[in-house]
Amino acid sequence: MSSPLSALATAAPAAAAVLAQRYHMVRQRTVTLCQPLLPEDTVVQPMIDVSPPKWHLAHVTWFFETFLLKEYLPGYTVYHPDYAFLFNSYYNSLGSRVNRADRGTLSRPALADVYRYRAHVDEQMEKLLALADELPSDFYELMELGLQHEQQHQELLATDIKYILSTSPLAPAYLKPATSAPTGTNSAEAEAASLPEVSWLPVPGGISRIGYEGTGFCFDNEQAPHEVLTADFELQNRLVTNGEYLQFIEAGGYQDFRYWLGEGWDLVQTQQWEAPLYWMLHDGRWHRFTHHGLQPVNLTAPVTHISFYEADAYAHWAGARLPTEPEWEVAARYFGANPTTGTFLESNLLDPQPLPANADPTHCHQLLGDAWEWTYSAYHPYPGYVRAAGALGEYNGKFMINQMVLRGGSCATPVSHIRLTYRNFFHADKRWQFTGIRLAR
Amino acid sequence: MSSPLSALATAAPAAAAVLAQRYHMVRQRTVTLCQPLLPEDTVVQPMIDVSPPKWHLAHVTWFFETFLLKEYLPGYTVYHPDYAFLFNSYYNSLGSRVNRADRGTLSRPALADVYRYRAHVDEQMEKLLALADELPSDFYELMELGLQHEQQHQELLATDIKYILSTSPLAPAYLKPATSAPTGTNSAEAEAASLPEVSWLPVPGGISRIGYEGTGFCFDNEQAPHEVLTADFELQNRLVTNGEYLQFIEAGGYQDFRYWLGEGWDLVQTQQWEAPLYWMLHDGRWHRFTHHGLQPVNLTAPVTHISFYEADAYAHWAGARLPTEPEWEVAARYFGANPTTGTFLESNLLDPQPLPANADPTHCHQLLGDAWEWTYSAYHPYPGYVRAAGALGEYNGKFMINQMVLRGGSCATPVSHIRLTYRNFFHADKRWQFTGIRLAR
Amino acid sequence: MSSPLSALATAAPAAAAVLAQRYHMVRQRTVTLCQPLLPEDTVVQPMIDVSPPKWHLAHVTWFFETFLLKEYLPGYTVYHPDYAFLFNSYYNSLGSRVNRADRGTLSRPALADVYRYRAHVDEQMEKLLALADELPSDFYELMELGLQHEQQHQELLATDIKYILSTSPLAPAYLKPATSAPTGTNSAEAEAASLPEVSWLPVPGGISRIGYEGTGFCFDNEQAPHEVLTADFELQNRLVTNGEYLQFIEAGGYQDFRYWLGEGWDLVQTQQWEAPLYWMLHDGRWHRFTHHGLQPVNLTAPVTHISFYEADAYAHWAGARLPTEPEWEVAARYFGANPTTGTFLESNLLDPQPLPANADPTHCHQLLGDAWEWTYSAYHPYPGYVRAAGALGEYNGKFMINQMVLRGGSCATPVSHIRLTYRNFFHADKRWQFTGIRLAR
Amino acid sequence: MSSPLSALATAAPAAAAVLAQRYHMVRQRTVTLCQPLLPEDTVVQPMIDVSPPKWHLAHVTWFFETFLLKEYLPGYTVYHPDYAFLFNSYYNSLGSRVNRADRGTLSRPALADVYRYRAHVDEQMEKLLALADELPSDFYELMELGLQHEQQHQELLATDIKYILSTSPLAPAYLKPATSAPTGTNSAEAEAASLPEVSWLPVPGGISRIGYEGTGFCFDNEQAPHEVLTADFELQNRLVTNGEYLQFIEAGGYQDFRYWLGEGWDLVQTQQWEAPLYWMLHDGRWHRFTHHGLQPVNLTAPVTHISFYEADAYAHWAGARLPTEPEWEVAARYFGANPTTGTFLESNLLDPQPLPANADPTHCHQLLGDAWEWTYSAYHPYPGYVRAAGALGEYNGKFMINQMVLRGGSCATPVSHIRLTYRNFFHADKRWQFTGIRLAR
């Protein structure tokens, strides 16, 4: 397998010791994320997009086994002959596999067996990493990919766990409720009052470059970097809040087809959507299921768990629109977006956070972290994009149809995983991710 | 709730102490059945007919809570307000509930919580049973029904567990393989040779009574007892074996529409049936998934896990037919069927057993236990059948359409649960129960 | 093809001339039935059970071509090589064919081409009938079967045409409204008043013979004739009327699960059934779509277009039950049912008729004609039933599962087609036939 | 209704007489297109995307009635109160309507009634057009829209008719085979030999304007005109031919997942795609169903009836790619594309035509007419796009998700209907339009 990822990354070989430490930390975080779960929680699949946590734990391990150990560790034989069938996600190059919809029907291997599998692979990876100085640059690229891949699954784990726990009427909490819960008055008006006024920030038009051009890791879909032309436009200085979205609901937004794309309106009717995913009326007040159990809706926090259709309908109703992908990246570069103020997985809050009341209205907030921002751009190849040879050519390229780009990362994204050029993508009807709204005009 | 079950049973009040002991034993067996399972095994639902073992454990408990504790224990309040929603099976009278198809999406309450629920209800039932001498006969009837109901779920647990474990390519064993496994030669011919020749036993025609007329417990569907007219016919003296069924397979039975009912032939094609459920070719030899893991097909044991369609097609191919329900009961009475020689749940074998080589060819074997026998009779009400008032009127009566009657119990039926008059029923396409074939002509 | 139908019929060879005349009359009636249709009406298939009239016209013709001309007319070659694919209904023995659900997608061959096909086959049949004296008895049996088969399709044509026309909001009339339309007062009370009181007629129990034993034609499923045992029971002396059924509706029958079989209740909810098929409220009064267009519901006429589930729920509500198949035939023989007073296809009314106000209350009316009567018996083989060899073995036998028996014929049945022993069968959810209710107790 | 279409068009009012003549000509062509059809052909709907021709004939008429007659003709009352329900396509603003999937279940109104409806509306439109000089500019815009709308349905009629006739094994011809059918040798090699070599034509990068800026009619989705930036690229000088596409088939293109987008590969497998729609092997040679019946595949003609997935997979296999929408329009302007040499509806050939053997290899052929060219651009709003108020706001805007843009028109597009800026759009899986491939790199 000669240089399969030359298009995927240009990472300079890190010192082996550093790499081993990163490997350990990334792997450990995945386990930590699953710590609060019962074995029962790790096997179910309440909808097709959700994978059982047990499956995630094994799949990311299979990824290292398949692309690293089998390739580079002399004499390595696979841990179990059936695991490729069980834990291959979607690589046609690597053979047949369990139907995606059937992942939640498999009680075996047991969770403990999957942890044993992880321990085995970690042990072997340690051996391999000890040889790292002698391995080719391909190895380093694949290591990086394996780690980034596991970080992607950490976000999926966080959101899948939320969905799994939400299906029970018992509304179990994954995390203890934060002690800094809203004190004093609990009224919506009071909450909303504390949020700084929204403002529109102009972004001058012209030719800009987008796409990744650095020397670190990026996914193949962030390349080739290229020039784009954008017109003058304005972006809101923060994400749309629950309180603002609630006004759309109360104005009859879910009952008026005029705001909606046709396929979105069909979903509103057939799925009986009346609010974002996880919202429910409880004693006359809107609540949301969260990683902390059922909580009153915090009106000043960014709205999340909405489909592209809802984001677009909201924008119509608000007399605005969603930014395009080039606009988003141009603006993020223009405003010097950086992750230091955003909410990411590492915060362990697993909920997007309100801006402080004194946040600077001339600053563009929340571009990175908190909530993925739907763009009105389809997920298509950049100019010059080439699928890699071999199985990894299936990693990104084959999904470049019928999905919309989201940008900026969320409260469930590891901070070391996000980039200004990062392209996330989901079908327009998906709601179980931390997806939110940034308005443009 | 006055005398809701007068149509269901006429059980004489047992002494309270005896009743308490039976309660304990039945409840304990359910737990014992689940002992070998991991928590992971108890939550999945790989097909709609299968319920997660955790659900069974809770549902049978909810049954006692709902029909006994709430009715007869003064001051009793339900253990958890959401459990009726979660663990009601199909009683419209008792409100809304989780969709049947979604039972396997719920990881919570945890298995440990369900065991706590069981312990709580058992404790309260102990209190109630201490009052039994003062309770009306309705109470005794409902107690009996609760116990019989739990026994029904023991059979479902055994067969659902088998299905759950079968979905994994790892083919995990629920029980250790029996030590008395076939020794010596392993060849199909040798095995088959040891089985006594099948014989046809005549049953004289005339008017007979069927249905339950005793003083013990029976389900309402076994009544009213009534006269039936049967013509002379013959019944085979044992169940059809795997070896015999294999001849049907090898003769192209699954490829020739002429043997099949139309709806059965559609299933053969769309489901790609080529053999009974759980059979697979492995290194050129037929194996079956069993509670002991994957095992070579034992040619002398009765065939099981076949649909009515397969039973009927086999009978066509063999130049015979299935008995009707009246024929079966008339024959079982005529031959004096008794459970002493059959294989039941208590044997813990969970597989129907071959007849001994020296079994009497003039005797009608295996009428009770080993495998449920498909009859060519629809599950309809007996003359004089009346649905009970209240929720329990939904227990049996509303299913009396589009299902076929099976008779005799199986290796997964508790021996104290079976009767000559017992009417089991499944849709003609179901295969996950221990269903087998008795030929008539 | 030697004697394929020896089990089907024992018809004595009719004189060839008589046979030719019957052939001509039966064939002509099919064409007459289609006369009022536009070509557009003859191609659509608004639901899977309905076949386009053009398809019926061709299929019955293909039946004569396949089973008579190809077998007995020397040198006959098929009219068109593709017609077997297009017009074979369900005979696996005769090769692949258009999916049933796709019959309404085919605009070609044109209606005119199908009439040309009919003319061609009729011409050739005339040649064949000229040779009839020299043909074996098989020929006569197949001729009879072909004619009876075409009569069955006449009933299907009448009911399929009704369904096809009903789908349009224009509610087109197939027939001109009868001139004897209700005159004078139009009130429901007045109408209902004119109907004689219903009475219960006892039928003594005992052993009786059912099934066909004569020397004329019968279908194979009416044999073997055999003895049945029935208990004493009573039958209502007429069919349940629209007025009586309306009381069930108004008493909340469609809102109360207690009257319903489980699968029926599911249909009530998912299909939103609130009344029989074709009923709709129009300016506050119930109307029905009929062959005469939209008409006010005639309260004294028998209710029709109800599923088995509705018939059974009505019976529950009314404190009665449906008769079994043996009970029905025993009663029909006991009461000397004859077709002279019933409404059949030949009347061209295509609607069941009210009893005259002076109808004898001690007489059992409407047993033959007017409406098919749902029995609570599954359509299973009679004792001694044997499927014929060859394609015609598929005619009846393969449907003997999951369907319920209906008895007595309807206003769309040719009078020469009905018999006391005639077994019709439909799935319990079907409503587009003229199906009605006879109560027993 | 004040100026509802100000965003849709800026057409200068034509003289009323000219307008009346155009109205007459456009309306007449629709009728001419349906002339060869039988009534039977005009009612069926063999798949959901296809509408019955009868429905098209009525729907375009309803459009004039609704948006012109009701708005501008004093005292006009609708022809039939049910026709809005029957012939509204998708305008939520205009009330409920027949489900799209049920259009083919309606035999009534009869074809003759629909022609009467057309005649009535034409007569009333004549009256209205006589008043045209006094009508506001809105009227002129709506007239133009009505005519363009009917032209869009002419293309749909042509392609729906093709699909309808294709479903019959009789393969009926809509048009007589052209007399200029390939003469002399019929061999694929000979045919292919006559085609000029393909060449790649460079298009220089830079900033260009796209979108409509003229004074004639355009759809709202062609606006606002705006600047785009394209890099240098090359376009092939003609459409991909059947012969070239056949090489992809023969190279195993439909068996190798590596060329395919994931959702496309799923379709290849579930739909068992092995070639373009309408292709079938017949005596070892590829044939296509055409408006002239079944014909051998002409290797030099452009390939059509392929999905976006097939176009993209072919491009992958050929080492090229599809152009983006901006690239296509920039190139079309750069090459001065004009319709004079293309094949359009008016030619009545209804099949894309091969280039002449002596076609200039330095010229970019077939940009307009012959086949719609899939672009790798999603159908999204242009910058500045605003949905019109009222029902017509539903015309285009609500479809701007999950569809791909096609450019250039086809052999079924009226020549007066196409523009360089015209944006057609279909879901990526659609194949029943005349869709083809233009390669870029």
Tell me whether residues D398 and A260 touch, CB distance under 8 A: yes
- Find, in chain B, the residue whose alpha carbon is nearest to that of A41: B107
The set of residues, in sequence order, having a beta carbon less than 8 Å from that of B336 and lying 6+ positions away, is none
At C227 the three-state DSSP class reads strand
Domain boundary among B166, B181, B205: B166
B/e letters for C169-188, b = 16+ CB within 10 Å, e = fewer, are ebbbbbeeeeeeeeeeeeeb
C11: pLDDT strictly greater than 50? no
Domain boundary among A148, A166, A184: A166
| Contact residues, chain D to chain C, C-beta under 8 Å | 38-47, 54, 82, 85-86, 102, 104-111, 164-165, 167-170, 172
CB pairs under 8 A between C and D: 95
Query: Neighbouring chains of B at 3+ CB pairs within 8 Å?
Result: A, C
Tell me whether residues B39 and A44 touch, CB distance under 8 A: no
Position D17 confidence tier, pLDDT thresholds 50, 70, 90: confident
Gap from B236 CA to chain A (nearest CA, Å): 40
Compute the distance between CA of residue D289 and CA of residue B295 in angstroms, rounded to an integer.
Answer: 54
D70: pLDDT strictly greater than 90? yes
Tell me whether residues C398 and B265 touch, CB distance under 8 A: yes
Position C191 confidence tier, pLDDT thresholds 50, 70, 90: low
Gap from A57 CA to chain B (nearest CA, Å): 15
Gap from A402 CA to chain D (nearest CA, Å): 5
Residue D183 lies in a domain: no
Tell me whether residues B40 and A45 touch, CB distance under 8 A: no
A348: pLDDT strictly greater than 60? yes
- Chain C residues lying within 8 Å of B401, measured CB to CB: 261-264, 308-309, 428
Q: Do chains B and A touch (3 or more CB pairs under 8 A)?
A: yes
Residue type, C177: P
- Quote the tokens at residue D380: 């999204």
Q: What is the percentage of chain C residues whose pLDDT exceeds 90?
A: 86
Q: What is the percentage of chain A residues whose pLDDT exceeds 70?
A: 93
Q: Specify the CATH number for the domain of residue C400.
A: 3.90.1580.10
- Chain A residues lying within 8 Å of D393, measured CB to CB: 258
Residue C291 lies in a domain: no
- Find, in chain A, the residue whose alpha carbon is nearest to that of B109: A170
At A389 the pLDDT is 87
C214: pLDDT strictly greater than 70? yes
Residue D7 lies in a domain: no
Strand partners, C286: C281
Gap from B318 CA to chain C (nearest CA, Å): 14
Compute the distance between CA of residue D352 and CA of residue D438 in angstroms, rounded to an integer.
Answer: 14
Gap from A98 CA to chain D (nearest CA, Å): 15
Tell me: do D249 and D152 sit in the same domain.
no
Q: Which of A399, A213, A236, A227 is nearest to A315 (CA)?
A: A236
At A16 the pLDDT is 80
Q: Specify the CATH number for the domain of residue C148.
A: 1.20.120
Gap from A41 CA to chain B (nearest CA, Å): 5
Tell me whether residues A105 and B46 touch, CB distance under 8 A: yes
Query: Neighbouring chains of D at 3+ CB pairs within 8 Å?
Result: A, C
Element (H, E) at D235: strand D233-236
Compute the distance between CA of residue A42 and CA of residue A165 in angstroms, rounded to an integer.
Answer: 10
Tell me: do C39 and C122 sit in the same domain.
yes
Cα D353–Cα D357–Cα D360 angle in degrees, nearest 5: 95
Q: Inter-axis angle of helices A111-130 and A53-64, to 10 degrees?
A: 20
| Contact residues, chain C to chain B, C-beta under 8 Å | 90, 92-93, 207, 226-229, 231, 257-258, 260-265, 308-309, 376-378, 380-381, 383, 393-394, 398-402, 428
At C3 the pLDDT is 33
CB pairs under 8 A between A and D: 69
Q: Residue A134: how many CB atoms within 10 A of its CB?
A: 9
Tell me: do D252 and D399 sit in the same domain.
yes
Contact A146, A68 (CB under 8 A): yes
Tell me: do A391 and A244 sit in the same domain.
yes
Which range of residues forms the domain containing residue A26? 16-166
Identify the residue among C93, C380, C398 best suited for mutation to test binding to B, counting B beta carbons within 10 A and taking the highest: C398
Q: Is A348 left (phi over 0), alpha (psi -120 to 50) or beta?
A: left
How deeply is B371 buried, as exposed, middle or buried, from its count of CB atoms within 10 A (0-12, 13-18, 19+)? buried
Tell me whether residues A229 and D229 touch, CB distance under 8 A: yes
Average pLDDT over chain A, rounded to whole? 92
Residue type, B370: D
The average pLDDT across C137-164 equals 97
Residue type, B315: A
Tell me: do D131 and D273 sit in the same domain.
no
Tell me: do A415 and A277 sit in the same domain.
yes
Q: Is D211 left (phi over 0), alpha (psi -120 to 50) or beta?
A: left
Gap from A82 CA to chain B (nearest CA, Å): 7
Compute the distance between CA of residue D230 and CA of residue B44 in angstroms, rounded to an integer.
Answer: 53
Of A75-79, A270-274, C360-364, D186-190, the range with the lowest mean pLDDT is D186-190
Tell me whether residues C261 and B207 touch, CB distance under 8 A: no
Contact C180, C354 (CB under 8 A): no
Tell me: do A96 and A156 sit in the same domain.
yes
Residue C263 lies in a domain: no
- Chain B residues lying within 8 Å of C92, measured CB to CB: 257, 265
- Chain A residues lying within 8 Å of D399, measured CB to CB: 261-262
Tell me whether residues B229 and C231 touch, CB distance under 8 A: no
Maximum Cα interatomic distance, chain B, rounded to a whole number of Å: 66
Residue D121 lies in a domain: yes
* pLDDT, tens digit, 9 for 90 and up, residues C306-316: 999 999 999 99
At A182 the pLDDT is 44
* pLDDT, tens digit, 9 for 90 and up, residues D430-439: 999 999 999 9
Q: Any idea what DSSP says for residue D170?
A: T
E strand residue ranges, A70-225: 200-203, 206-210
Domain count, chain D: 2
Tell me whether residues D262 and A399 touch, CB distance under 8 A: yes
In the predicted model, residues of chain B with pLDDT beneath 70 are 1-14, 177-194
At D178 the pLDDT is 58
The set of residues, in sequence order, having a beta carbon less than 8 Å from that of B12 and lying 6+ positions away, is B140, B215
* pLDDT, tens digit, 9 for 90 and up, residues B72-83: 999 999 999 999
Distances (CA, A) of A47 to A52, A263, B428, D270: 10, 20, 29, 22
Of B409-423, C388-402, D216-230, the range with the lowest mean pLDDT is C388-402
Gap from B427 CA to chain C (nearest CA, Å): 9
Q: Select the more confidently predicted residue: D4 or D303.
A: D303
At B423 the pLDDT is 98
Position A187 confidence tier, pLDDT thresholds 50, 70, 90: very low
Of A229-233, A388-392, B417-421, D411-415, the range with the lowest mean pLDDT is A388-392
Domain boundary among A166, A182, A214: A166
The set of residues, in sequence order, having a beta carbon less than 8 Å from that of C353 and lying 6+ positions away, is C301, C302, C343, C370, C411
Q: Any idea what DSSP says for residue B316?
A: H
Phi then psi for D288, rounded to 5 degrees?
-130, 140
- Chain B residues lying within 8 Å of A51, measured CB to CB: none
The average pLDDT across D146-162 equals 98
Compute the distance between CA of residue C412 and CA of residue C215 in angstroms, rounded to an integer.
Answer: 25
Of B107, B111, B168, the CB nearest to A164: B107
Tell me: do A236 and A349 sit in the same domain.
yes
Tell me whether residues A262 and D377 touch, CB distance under 8 A: no
Tell me whether residues C38 and D41 touch, CB distance under 8 A: no
- Find, in chain D, the residue whose alpha carbon is nearest to that of A226: D231
Tell me: do B208 and B106 sit in the same domain.
no
How deeply is B239 buried, as exposed, middle or buried, from its count of CB atoms within 10 A (0-12, 13-18, 19+)? buried
Cα C368–Cα C370–Cα C372 angle in degrees, nearest 5: 70
Alpha helices in C43-136 (DSSP H): 53-64, 70-72, 83-87, 111-130
The total number of residues written for chain C in this structure = 441
The set of residues, in sequence order, having a beta carbon less than 8 Å from that of C16 and lying 6+ positions away, is C129, C130, C132, C133
Phi then psi for A224, rounded to 5 degrees?
-75, 150
Tell me whether residues D378 and A381 touch, CB distance under 8 A: no
Compute the distance between CA of residue A398 and CA of residue A394 in angstroms, rounded to an integer.
Answer: 6
* pLDDT, tens digit, 9 for 90 and up, residues D357-399: 889 999 999 999 999 999 999 999 999 999 988 899 999 999 9
Tell me whether residues D257 and A376 touch, CB distance under 8 A: no
Compute the distance between CA of residue D56 and CA of residue D61 in angstroms, rounded to an integer.
Answer: 8
Q: Do chains B and D touch (3 or more CB pairs under 8 A)?
A: no
Rounded CA Rg of chain B: 22
Tell me whether residues B402 and C399 touch, CB distance under 8 A: no
Tell me whether residues A105 and B45 touch, CB distance under 8 A: yes
Compute the distance between CA of residue A74 and CA of residue A23 in angstroms, rounded to an integer.
Answer: 20
Residue A424 lies in a domain: yes
Residue D176 lies in a domain: no
Tell me whether residues B261 and C231 touch, CB distance under 8 A: no
Tell me: do B85 and B206 sit in the same domain.
no
Contact B141, B8 (CB under 8 A): yes
Residue B336 lies in a domain: yes
- Quote the tokens at residue C114: 């199908």
Of A45, A105, A110, the CB nearest to B38: A110
Phi then psi for B392, rounded to 5 degrees?
-70, -15
Tell me: do D232 and D157 sit in the same domain.
no
Position D313 confidence tier, pLDDT thresholds 50, 70, 90: very high
Identify the residue among A107, A111, A114, A432 best suited for mutation to test binding to B, counting B beta carbons within 10 A and taking the highest: A107
Tell me: do A162 and A199 sit in the same domain.
no
Cα A304–Cα A161–Cα A24 angle in degrees, nearest 5: 110
Of C228, C257, C263, the CB nearest to B402: C263
The average pLDDT across C107-133 equals 96
- Quote the tokens at residue C85: 């694919």
* pLDDT, tens digit, 9 for 90 and up, residues D235-252: 999 999 999 999 999 999
Average pLDDT over chain B, rounded to whole? 92
- Chain B residues lying within 8 Å of C428, measured CB to CB: 401-402
Tell me whether residues D105 and C44 touch, CB distance under 8 A: yes
